[in-house]
Structure 1
Amino acid sequence: MAIVEHVESEGAAVSGGGGGDGVRRRDFINIAAVSFAGVGAVAVVIPLVDQMNPSADVLALASTEVDLSAIQPGQAIKTTFRSQPLFVRHLTDKEIAEADKVDPASLRDPQTLEERTVDGKKQWLVTMGVCTHLGCVPLGAGEGENKGEYGGYFCPCHGSSYDTAARIRKGPAPKNLEVPKFSFTSDTAILVG
């Protein structure tokens, strides 16, 4: 019997039940395994997230500078912004007056000309050249193009007509032509985007 008791006490010491070292070893192994898995997850996730960032060519198109010096009152130009057409129009006093006399409450998408332009630069209207109905490019920015019955833009696809402030007045388009974020960098240049 003495031999059995001696063997049992040695077995308890070897298995770690007596000194508490076994619990500490187990905890260390668990912490090391979780840490290793965490480092591995981070090593996998970082490249996946990084590949979702825009490429350099896309970032280069994120803003567009437009020179306004050659645009005479009553003229408009077409350029591109983020691979879409952009219209920049130099409104005449008559076009501004026509836009101002329209009651915004009577419009499908009520906005005043002031809400669509920059303070103190009411004569410069900058809009995306994409019809809000199905994405066609409206006419009216080029020389001699059909400006529609309201003197702004006319979409040849389904007949939407926009006024001089590029607000929808007739046709299936639900919204006005979108005004992108832009700012004046000088009296003759704007930065879109």
Structure 2
Amino acid sequence: MTAAVRLSPDAVLEGATVRLRALTRDDLPDLFDAIGHPEVFAGGWGGGPAAYRDTYEEWHAFILRYLAWKTGNVTAVLLRDGDRLVGTTTLGDFDLANGSAHIGWTAYAPEVWGTRVNAETKRLLLGAAFDNGFERVKLQADVLNERSRAAILRLGARFEGVLRHTQPRADGSWRDTAVYSILREEWPAVRDALDERLAAASA
């Protein structure tokens, strides 16, 4: 099967807790309320602590540059209870010739950290990627971001290694990137484990 970039702009992915749809410019004030906090940047997201902007105007300019608006499926993560926006994630970095994609650019409101939101969001996006024919889905994090790295491992992704000096952080230091992946042949077991985890979390 040939991998497809397709997540229709009108597509909605529904879980028990979250609803995923395309993030729009109209969502940005609500996204700022959700993730415009120093602790979101502290682990390395967005370029690290030095990338944090405390005014909406500066943050708005940053988020328009940072997210993969033109090349990825930039997604809004909403709680189904109240339809409140609590984060964003993206399926992007498409390499169709080799069936590869990347789930990243993920940030959530601190209040949903440690809940089922991330696991369910990734379950829905991974399912969409593999259903659309991808062979490999990459996930990655700043090597210093222990919280995100632990969350990626809990999803069932395999650690591949560390790429050194992949990009400068906002403070000018060089970021090393820890890379993980899930392959098509691994997805059924990963999917089943995620489903069991989510079922236990709602029990």
Higher RCO (CA 8 Å, separation ≥ 6 residues):
2
TM bucket, shorter chain: under 0.3
Q: Which has the higher strand share?
A: 2
What TM-score, normalized by structure 2, do the two folds share? 0.25
Q: Which has the higher helix share?
A: 2
Specify the structure having the higher radius of gyration (Cα): 1
